[in-house]
Each structure stands twice: as C-alpha cells, then as structure tokens.
Structure 1
C-alpha cells in the first residue's frame, strides 16, 4: 500500500518524493468516520450470530389455543369469523357451519354447545363463520326477492376461496381441513367437501337434509326459509336447475367416494336432552321432533344411495334425539376422533 504523501511512480529509474499532500478538511474526515461506522453496523449481525427469523404471517392477538374474532374481506362485504387457534400452532382446521337461523353476531356452535372446549387441547383451529341465514352456504343466483336483500349470497366462494386465502396468512392450511354442520349446514358441509376435495379431508353432517330433491322437500325448504328471514328459495336456485341439483347430496353422492364421512340423524323420539317445562318449550320440542324425523328419512334415503354406489361412511343413527343443539353437541363429540384422524392431528 502506498504511503500517504509519497508517489511510487518510477522516473529515470529512481523514486521521487512528491510534494506534501494538503491537509484534508475536517468535514471529509468526519464523513469517512460516519461511513466506517455504518459499515460496521451492517456487518455486526454476521459476527453476532444468525439473524432473528421474522414472522411469516400476522401475529394472533391471542396465544395459541386462544379465541379470536376476525373481520374477513369478501365479495359480500366484511364477514365476521370466530376462530379458536390450534393448541400447539398446527395448520389443520375444522370449519363448523351453523343452521338455517344463523345469526349475524355469533356462530351458535360457540354458545349453544361446548365445541370450543371439545377441541381446546387439540392441535386444530376451529373456524366458525358468522351469518348466512337460510343461505345453505352456497352461491345464489340473485339477492332474495322477498325480504329486500341488497347483496347476492356468495358463501361457497367465501368458504372455499376468500376465507382460506385470508387464514393462510395466519398459518392455517388451505388443504388440511375438515367441515361439519347441522341441519342446513349438514348438507352444505357435504356439498363443500364434494366439490372441493383439495381443501377438505373429512365432512360431517348432523341432522342434515340429504335428499332435497325428494317429493315435497323443495316446498318444505321454501316454507322454512320464509320463516327464517323471509328468504326466497327461487332466488337461491331455480327448481331442478343444475344449481339446485348441485346442492343435493343424493345427486352428488358419487363425488364423495373415498372421502371420510360422519353422518348422523335420529328418529325424533324425545330423549335425555328434551325436558320442556312450558308451553313454548313443548311447542319447540314438537317442531324439533318433526324436523328430526324428516332429517332421518332423508338420511336413510341417502345411506341407501351410498350403499348402492359402494361408498362407505360412518353413520350415527339413533332412535332418540330431536332437532336441537344438545344432540348435535353429542354428535360432534362422536365425530371428533374421525375428524382428528383424517387431519393427522394427534
């Protein structure tokens, strides 16, 4: 390295002294010190050890296993989704679908059952979408024409595209999921799993309506939907149209082959959870008896169809049990080992 103030350029075979270099201004020296310090700061992590890993997804506001409410963007506007995160940070998820009278403030699985407690120690995230009254969790052809609905339901799009993409940002898998639902949510759970096999590895239907094209079923659904929010079944799908048949588990049964399933229903005989002690309670129990008996008739028809196709499923068919939450809580507990096994969760 050349010494400051000397030149090593040979001239006539000798080394010649150069004039003394002028003193550099203090400002130049100051910038050199700043530059050297910056280089040292940048290089410091290389000597201090490996860099800290930054999170690859948003941090939960609650710890692993905690409960959280998210507002998820969708084509229908923001949708509330209640979530119980996997106990040990796993990426598997169970979607729990509500019934015909789904509310806009909470998913009934969180308040009318002990579903959160059932899975509290399991390494699986519970995903509980809020809303969707009378929707059958499908994409409608138009807004309901009988109640002034402003938007068109796009629940299948939400549950299979928008919500999984959002949850993926939190470390939830888009492909290692199960789906379960009761009544309206039961038939919807089978439909979602049948048409989105890459997303769902297990489906459960509790008291679902699994033969909606059977004689009289469409009109029964029409009456029920008018009672639950004055929704029009014709705005969902025209009678016997491809969209309607696509919703019918009896019709799409072949697409359930090799998919682990848990299917339950009861004959509507009042059981341990039915203790009406008022006129309103008796009225509700009578309705629950009729609705559950209809569900069982649908389920028996669906089971015969599945047997004809040679497709197996785990059936939980009971004599006693009505169309009510306490029985669906029991059926979720019965399905839980199958769900965890399908998701590879121990």
Structure 2
C-alpha cells in the first residue's frame, strides 16, 4: 500500500518465496528446524544498525529483521532496554523505516531498541489461514514471540514493548495490541486498516494479497469467525489500558498532485478509521486521534505522524 515500490525483481523474489512457503505447507512439507527461532547471520551496517537473518519455525522459513540500537547501548552493558516495533506496509520490506524516514537519527538519543521484522511481501503481519492446515506461516508468532525472545538473548531487551506501523503495519500494530492484551503498552497506527469488516476493506485486503500472486482467501479464509478474530474493531475492548495514537488523512482534496493514487487510497481508509475510533469512544477507551485533511498514503505523511505519536509511544515504553 505505500507509494514506494521496490524493484520488480525484489517484489517477484519475495512473492515467489511467500508462495513457495504456502505451497510447501499445503503439501505437508516441513522444513527441518529446531523448536526455537535462531539467528543464522548478522550484517552490521553501522555501529547501531544490524540486519539479522532468522530461521523461524513459525514461518517455516528464514526472514530478515533489522535492529536499531540506541547510541548508549555499548556503553551500558549491564542494563536492559525497552523495545519499539516498527512495522512495514504492503509491497515493501523491513528496510522501509530506515530507508524512508529519519527514524535512525530521531531515536539515536532515546533509550530504546527499535526492531523492524519482515512481514512478508504482503506486509500483513498475521497468522495465515491457508486452508486451516497446521504449520501455516504465522507472522504474528514470528514477530511477537520469536523475535522478542531473540532480542532478549542477543541484545538485552527488556519486557516493555510498544508497536507502530504504517498502512498494513498500522493494522498489525493495533491488531497485535488487541489480540495480545498487556503485551504492548502502546500502539500507533498511521493510515492503518482498523476495521477489516468495514465496506470496501475486504476488497482492499484481497487486492494486496492478489498482487503478490497469492489467493486472497489464504489470508483468513472466506469470512466469519476467523475474520472477527483478526479484526481490531471486533476486539477493541481488549485495548483498554493501552496507549493509542491513531492517524488518518482524508486523501482528497490533496495538494500532492503527483500522487493521486496515494491520495485516493488514503481517502478509501477514511470511513473505516472513523468507525474504529467511534467504537473506542463507545467503549470508553481513550486514544489520541489525528484526522487531517488531505495527505496521501505515503511516507511524506507518516514520518511526521510518527513524531507526533512519539510521546504516546515513549510513555508506553517507560521513557515519558
């Protein structure tokens, strides 16, 4: 869903890997793996940024994870650190946050580890239905459980967590907080899909999945209970006690005339975002909400929204 587009070769390679993983599961193929996720490679890009290759039992595959350390990390070898998850959008990858924003410099002086795990080519961080077969790719378990345990083992991560995401990553941030009450102290969504049952949202999600050469119903099945289990709107009551920041632009009219597609997509998500925040109000759950005129479904809007949400995230991380 982000306007950024990786190269055709990158997208095709990712789509083929995802399709192969689903096909292997459907065929009953179980890659050899231990019961626990493990890091098989580290690629240090600088003294604060490292890309990990993780063998994940939850995915039955290897997946990349980017970790961004605070500037004071090396000088304080005896302390633990809170963790901020930054989730990608659709048709993008785990490098998007550091590629498209100044998050590295912004977080340099903050006492937090930022982690950017892959959500696969669709960017939807969930446990795939895949005909209900056991062993289907589970990005939720990979990100929430496996990655966190590796961060504890390798980078002295503590128990406090917050999560933020753009587009489908915004969905993931709020869905994780609702599906795992108490695991994340704060969650922020920037142009996220917060009510998958709202008019038009199943079409949007199906288009995302189909673009990666996957059958749309592999995501959560055709309809019904499994969709409700993954719908932040349906599980909103579980967000009580979680610090929330939710932002959404109206898209059109937009001053970004060069990105009409992004403006239209942003506007498509406008009504469902309002439905979700109305649900929170009905339940008496507080949230910091920023609905703004214009904007596009792009990083030009999301970077400033991340900074606006930082006080909410920092409080959840114990830094406020």
1:325 aligns with 2:299: yes
The 1-side partners of 2:48 and 2:200 are apart by 44
The alignment status of 1:250 with 2:233, answered yes or no, reads yes
Question: For the residues of structure 2 that align with 1:321 and 1:155, how far apart are their CA atoms?
Answer: 29
Partner of 2:91: 101
Question: CA offset at residue 295 of structure 1?
Answer: 1.6
CA contact (8 A) 1:178 1:200 kept: yes
Superposed, 1:278-289 pairs within 5 Å as: 285-289=259-263
Query: Bigger CA drift: 90-99 or 230-239?
Result: 230-239
Q: How does 1:188-199 map to 2 (within 5 A)?
A: 188-199=172-183
Structure 2 residue aligned with 1:211: 195
The one of 85, 88, 98 equivalent to 2:69 is 85
Matches of 2:226 and 2:139, distance apart in 1: 14
Greater shift, 112-121 or 328-337, is seen at 112-121
Cα shift at 1:232: 2.2
How far apart are the structure 2 equivalents of 1:175 and 1:199? Answer: 9
Corresponding residue SS for 1:72: strand
| Residue aligning to 1:165 | 149
- How far apart, in 2, do the equivalents of 1:66 and 1:270 lie? 40
Describe the SS at the equivalent of 2:269: helix
SS of the residue corresponding to residue 83 of structure 1 reads strand
Correspondence for 2:51: 69
- Is there any run of 5+ residues in structure 1 with no aligned partner, and where? 1-59, 145-150, 277-284
Larger Cα Rg: Structure 1 or Structure 2? 1
Taking structure 1 as reference, are residues 320 and 63 closer, same or farther at Cα in structure 2, changes over 3 Å only? closer
Q: Give per-residue Cα distances to partners, 1:248-270, cap 9 Å, x unaligned.
A: 11111111011100000010036
* Deviation of the 1:102 alpha carbon: 2.5
1:242–1:153: structure 2 CA closer, same or farther, 3 Å change rule?
A: same
Deviations 1:55-107 (A, max 9, x none): xxxxx98699711111122122222111111232351111111111123xx42
Conserved in 2, the CA contact under 8 Å of 1:83 and 1:127? Answer: yes
Aligned partners of 1:174, 1:218: CA distance in 2, in Å?
A: 37
Higher relative contact order (Cα pairs below 8 Å, separated by 6+ residues): 2
Q: Which residue of 1 aligns with 2:166?
A: 182
Query: Separation in 2 of the partners of 1:65 and 1:122?
Result: 16
Distance 2:156 2:215 in 1: 35
Aligned counterparts of 1:137 and 1:332: Cα–Cα separation in 2: 19
How far apart in 1 are the matches of 2:100 and 2:267? 22
Distance 1:303 1:119 in 2: 28
Q: 1:198/1:254 Cα in 2 relative to 1: closer, same or farther (>3 Å)? A: closer
Conservation of the 8 A alpha-carbon contact between 2:65 and 2:116: yes
Aligned length: 269
Instruction: Provide the alpha-carbon RMSD of the alignment.
Output: 2.4
| CA distance 1:62–1:99, shift in 2 (3 Å) | closer
2:89 corresponds to 1:115: no
Q: Which residue of 2 aligns with 1:260?
A: 243
Structure-2 residue corresponding to 1:312: 286
What does residue 125 of structure 1 align with? Answer: 113
CA drift of 1:118 comes to 1.5
**TM-score, structure 2 as length reference:** 0.78
For normalisation by structure 1, the TM-score amounts to 0.72
- Alignment correspondent of 1:301: 275
Shift of 1:195: 2.1
- Once residues 100 and 111 of structure 1 are traced to their aligned partners in structure 2, the CA distance between those partners, rounded to angstroms, is 15
Higher strand share: 2
Q: CA deviation at 1:239?
A: 2.8
How far did 1:271 drift?
5.1
